[in-house]
Structure 1
């Protein structure tokens, strides 16, 4: 029997939404051209509707519930079960062939302890794979792509901590920038060849994810131009033969709001970087209203089948206008980031969504240190006490998760 797809019903007039989306693209507001960004609709699935640190940003000394790297791994407060919220972060991992397994294990324990210190129960491991030009038909691993064996070891350590795990391959975009391209507008010259190559690349990672009992495998992320292609049926069918967990797809926010997003998967995530055109002093309630205004364009009320696969914002002035702006380095404003995180968490809870993953932590970083704002991305949240306090407050809020909506 053919798998039910995920139909997203577009409800906005084309002219209006085209203007809303086009302006941010022209102004460079498209989130994370090499690493991501995304919006929100009415989801119909199978016919149903579905750490604490110091309070100030300045000092060098910090008090953290996250521990230094040791041979021991801290344990989550409560292991995730179906129906509970997914409280997590995206861990972005560019591997290095010169890194030893000892180093990789040390970093995995460091991040596991940090996440447990924030009271997270989930982690998503994002890592790059590579292509050529927009028309290329070949997908490949590169030096920065973790090997399946390395991935399996990292997943094992996260499981030792009791963390729910997601595996999330993410197309690197550096080779596409010369053509003003990104992963969402590739145009393979031969789609059958592209999907064959992509499936060959995914196979060992699906096996590694299955061997370590990962909960979710994201079969594609922000591949907007390929959404709805019939080749996905075969790719997902084969993935489900290799991987016993949930097969998901993460849509980019502009594709999600303009819909439909039609993919043969059991779950949809959103890389959610909704621009809210307000000043730096905007209240949390104003930011919540801004998010809900976007979400309501697709559906009002609960969204229990939707996960915010990415949410983040730069800790800097003017960030609300372009929350996924990876490149800009305006003056640091920690309160902007902290308020955004608080608002997103409130939206997730009020809309009974299945959880949120904050973008992001980098695998080679020490999350217990203050970021060097001369070189670090403004989107980094690890080491920013105000944001970490907002995350901890979110993760310990007592929100029961979307199970309340799905059980009835």
Structure 2
């Protein structure tokens, strides 16, 4: 159902807290330059959570026929409904134009079955788009950007499996000179009018594909710290809502989330949450929970029913708690470190009555049923790590009913 767009997100008038973090961290898949700043309280969102616009309800445990009509898809035990937690995974897809549509569908079915096996009810499809540099005004496809048509096939298969779907374009950083400290969060387009016009042109076909395949959410931007609050977002979101009937969201990076108000005219806010915790490898789950809560409390105490953890993850390696988003380092493998982190994050989501969590990540071309090759794989990979998979299943089968069932939220 179409919902009215929210005004700029409001901020409760609570006290301001100052802090300084002295060391650099890596957030998500980019290096983060951390600076001191003031902390403002939790923002209050006034919109409703998005729901899939239609789709088959099906009976639990039923199978659906794939688009090719030759394979069966295992369906989720219980399809997501408004008010339930989003238990999901970020699926990152760097397309290869030489891959056939049959290959794309095969991989989508493989991942759908794996996600159902984890007891997930949601999936977010993240894929790259490109720019020419920090000051560029051009947004473009690249060889790794799936076409809207190919995206539609993947969404259709996930929808048939009963999964709640999110579409999430993500600015690739290969042209932003990461070695010099640049990343998607500090782009500075020379002409913002031209940048937003180019971005709208890029997004519109994907919004159409998402609408056609009944996606629940479209993330209009991710980790674009330097662009947040620009008045031009209003027109961009207006256009998106003319095309897409679902929820329009924005995913903030964790540093900006705790450091100030996120003023974006969207229905829902996600957070890419890589909060560093000063703890040893043998830290208990409760210690990690306390570490997360200290960060969240800088913004607001109490429940956070309007917030979704859009990305959470950590390397299965020693020393990871101090830089959970470190994509590049490959220290000694420590599976229990990753599993305990996942357990702690899930506990925070439930205790703070959040909307859900999406684990980062699975790569589209990988087979999630195989153990990662730690000689080449990112330590953040969780598929094929039994301890972490057990933690995810425990989270996704918990008795947490979701923020929509709690009158105090």
Fold conserved between structures, TM > 0.5: yes
Superposition CA RMSD, Å: 2.2
In 1, the alpha carbon distance for the partners of 2:31 and 2:109 equals 27
Quick one: structure 1 residues 404 and 329, their matched pair in 2 at CA, closer, same or farther if it must change by over 3 Å?
Answer: same
Contact 1:34/1:174 (<8 A) preserved: no
The CA deviation string for residues 182-210 of structure 1, in whole angstroms up to 9 with x for no partner, is 00000000000000000000000000000
In 2, the alpha carbon distance for the partners of 1:282 and 1:245 equals 41
1:178, CA displacement in angstroms? 5.1
Is the counterpart of residue 75 in structure 1 residue 75 in structure 2?
A: yes
Which residue of the partner structure matches residue 368 of structure 1? 369
Gaps in structure 1 of 5+ consecutive residues: 49-68
Which residue of the partner structure matches residue 309 of structure 2? 308
How many residues align? The count is 380
Contact 2:47/2:268 (<8 A) preserved: no
Which residue of the partner structure matches residue 107 of structure 2? 107
Quick one: structure 1 residues 41 and 169, their matched pair in 2 at CA, closer, same or farther if it must change by over 3 Å?
Answer: farther
Map 1:119-268; keep pairs closer than 5 Å: 119-176=119-176, 177=178, 179-268=180-269
Kindly indicate which of the two structures has a greater share of residues assigned to strand: 2
In 1, the alpha carbon distance for the partners of 2:271 and 2:167 equals 15
1:398, CA displacement in angstroms? 1.4
Contact 2:93/2:364 (<8 A) preserved: yes
1:296, CA displacement in angstroms? 0.8
1:133, CA displacement in angstroms? 1.1
In 1, the alpha carbon distance for the partners of 2:152 and 2:31 equals 25
Which residue of the partner structure matches residue 9 of structure 2? 6
1:42, CA displacement in angstroms? 1.1
Quick one: structure 1 residues 271 and 213, their matched pair in 2 at CA, closer, same or farther if it must change by over 3 Å?
Answer: same
In 1, the alpha carbon distance for the partners of 2:15 and 2:341 equals 26
1:404, CA displacement in angstroms? 2.0
In 1, the alpha carbon distance for the partners of 2:159 and 2:264 equals 29
1:4, CA displacement in angstroms? 1.4
The CA deviation string for residues 234-287 of structure 1, in whole angstroms up to 9 with x for no partner, is 000000000000000000000000011100001000000000000000000000
In 1, the alpha carbon distance for the partners of 2:260 and 2:91 equals 28
1:90, CA displacement in angstroms? 0.1
1:5, CA displacement in angstroms? 1.5
Which residue of the partner structure matches residue 403 of structure 1? 404
Which residue of the partner structure matches residue 395 of structure 2? 394
Higher relative contact order, chain-length normalized (CA < 8 Å, sep 6+): 1
Which residue of the partner structure matches residue 52 of structure 1? none
Match of residue 29, structure 1, among 17, 26, 34: 26
Secondary structure of the 2:252 match is: strand
Secondary structure of the 2:73 match is: coil
Quick one: structure 1 residues 3 and 386, their matched pair in 2 at CA, closer, same or farther if it must change by over 3 Å?
Answer: closer
Which residue of the partner structure matches residue 380 of structure 1? 381
Which residue of the partner structure matches residue 274 of structure 2? 273
Which residue of the partner structure matches residue 66 of structure 1? none
Is the counterpart of residue 91 in structure 1 residue 91 in structure 2?
A: yes
1:290, CA displacement in angstroms? 0.6
Quick one: structure 1 residues 141 and 374, their matched pair in 2 at CA, closer, same or farther if it must change by over 3 Å?
Answer: same
1:31, CA displacement in angstroms? 3.7
Quick one: structure 1 residues 406 and 252, their matched pair in 2 at CA, closer, same or farther if it must change by over 3 Å?
Answer: farther
In 1, the alpha carbon distance for the partners of 2:28 and 2:77 equals 33
Secondary structure of the 1:394 match is: helix
In 2, the alpha carbon distance for the partners of 1:12 and 1:378 equals 38
In 1, the alpha carbon distance for the partners of 2:31 and 2:156 equals 28
Quick one: structure 1 residues 133 and 9, their matched pair in 2 at CA, closer, same or farther if it must change by over 3 Å?
Answer: farther
The CA deviation string for residues 144-200 of structure 1, in whole angstroms up to 9 with x for no partner, is 000000000000000110000000000000110254210000000000000000000
